[in-house]
Amino acid sequence: MKKFLSILFIFCLQLTLAQEVSNYYLIRHAEKDRADSNNSNPGLTEKGHQRALHWGTVFEKIELDAIYTTNYLRTIHTAMPTADNKGLVLHYYDPRNLNSAEFKAITKGKNILIVGHSNTTPEFANAILGEEKFGPMPDHVNSYLYVITCIGQKTSAHIFTIE
């Protein structure tokens, strides 16, 4: 029986390892400058710039293949320290036009960082998962890290708070 279980374990392990693993890391932009309520494209506050640098250290030891961000100053400035550390260019996505099947096909087998907004980050995470797992993110929260791993047809999703 032990021999059978060992063989079954090795077979399952090989099957898992033979499948491509996709990892998605989703964060919201760092603290934005709210001084001018008429500014639809504000940059970051000093605290936001510090958080962006901190995200750069968080992702320092994580291999990333690409970074996706919306085309807003606050998301771009949040992503730049990580992009600079990794020598990666930013890819822009339209949060109003998410085609999760196409995105998953393009990013299959890769490690991807996605920088979005309080209303789009959980929505994008749910689109990748194909289910409504995550609810709305409070507007004042800039510290959530969503981690989604896809192995074949199986997915796992977790949310962490990174201060």
Average pLDDT over all residues of the chain: 89
SS3 160: strand
Bridge-based pairing state of the strands 154-161 and 111-116: unpaired
Q: Which residues of 110-133 are buried (b: 16+ CB within 10 A; e: fewer)?
A: ebbbbbbbbebbbbbbbbbbeeee
- Residue 107 pLDDT greater than 60, yes or no: yes
Please give the Cα distance from 9 to 29 (Å, whole number): 42
- Residue 7 pLDDT greater than 70, yes or no: no
Total residue length of the chain = 163
Q: How does pLDDT run across 25-38, given as a tens digit for each residue? A: 999 999 999 999 99
Please give the Cα distance from 149 to 26 (Å, whole number): 11
Domains present along the chain, CATH in parentheses: 19-161 (3.40.50.1240)
Q: H helices within 89-139, ranges in order?
A: 100-106, 121-129
Q: Give the model's confidence band at 5: pLDDT under 50 very low, under 70 low, under 90 confident, else very high.
A: very low
